[in-house]
Amino acid sequence: MDYDRFIRIVARAAGIRQQEAKRATRATLETLAEQLEERVRRDLAHKLPNELEPWIVTAAAYEPYGADEFVRRVGDRAGVDPPSAERDIRAVFAALAQAVGFDALTEIVADLPPDYETFLPPGRSDEVAAYGRFIHRVVERGALRDEESAKRAVDAVLETLGERIAHGEVEDLLRRLPPELHSPLKRGDHRTLGKAEQMTLMEFIERVVDREGVTDEQAQDHIRAVFVTLREAVGDDEFFDVVVELPEEYVSAVA
């Protein structure tokens, strides 16, 4: 996608003139850059028209903050009121989705505070919101220090679960979970060729310890947090369809 087309998408989505769309794009990208680590900024810039690169690869320090503050800063930079700033942000995110793809934009938004999902174009926002809620619940329930730690815990637990249950049960979970949670389940399922691998709860814990790099006690807390959140995400019926084939010690551990 070239620069002119990007700006036209923003102008059309926001219902504003192209000159205003340029200001909105610059304000949004400069503010977004403050939320991204340098590696992510540069990766994003490489996928966009060259004219947009200076607005992303900036000297601004990494500074996380919520969606309300994001809207305020974009409004200040563009010289518009908050409702107009939010409208413009949504338009720029729509253009970003077309330029880099929904999946790439989803990965970026998934690392931002959960309230940023409201800026996504229709069709992916609900899935990203569900993923953000899942990670947030695991942070709280597993006494984890941040979302990155929670993502590592979720990845380790779901990959091990993918090894422990049969392919059909993995497929049932995939249909009910956000796409961002699919990869670890698929890795585990692929490793065992879709056949449930028998393992005691202690063996399950040991694999999570190895994958996540935590203590036995921490792994037990994280497994419990992920399982409880998984039950909440897929519903009691689906969850018990998964655990019914597991030894009673698994169920007792997460009750």
User: What pTM value is reported for the model?
Assistant: 0.53
Residue 127: pLDDT band with limits 50, 70, 90: low
Which residues, at least 6 apart from 134, have a Cβ–Cβ distance to it below 8 Å?
154, 177, 178, 181, 229, 233
- Percent of the residues in the chain that have a pLDDT greater than 90, as a whole number: 51
Over 60: is that where the pLDDT of 126 sits? no
Domain 3-119 CATH class label: mainly alpha
Give me the residue spans of the domains in the chain.
3-119, 130-254
- Distance CA(107)–CA(131), nearest Å, equals 11
Over 60: is that where the pLDDT of 129 sits? no
Residue 255: pLDDT band with limits 50, 70, 90: low
Over 60: is that where the pLDDT of 39 sits? yes
List alpha helices for 47-146, DSSP H. 53-56, 67-78, 82-100, 102-110, 125-141
The CATH superfamily of 130-254 is: Uncharacterized conserved protein DUF2267 (1.10.490.110)
Query: pLDDT tens, 198-220?
Result: 999 999 999 999 999 999 999 99
- Distances, alpha carbon 167 to alpha carbons 171, 182, 189, 193, in Å: 6, 13, 6, 8
* 3-class SS shares of the chain: helix, strand, coil, % to 5: 75, 0, 25
Q: Which pLDDT score is estimated for 196?
A: 92
Q: Which pLDDT score is estimated for 113?
A: 84
Q: Do the domains 3-119 and 130-254 sit in the same CATH topology, yes or no?
A: yes
Query: pLDDT tens, 51-108?
Result: 999 999 875 667 778 899 999 999 999 999 999 999 999 999 989 988 888 778 888 8
Cβ atoms 133, 198 nearer than 8 A: no
- Percent of the residues in the chain that have a pLDDT greater than 70, as a whole number: 93
Mean of pLDDT values over 122-127:
55
Residue 174: pLDDT band with limits 50, 70, 90: confident
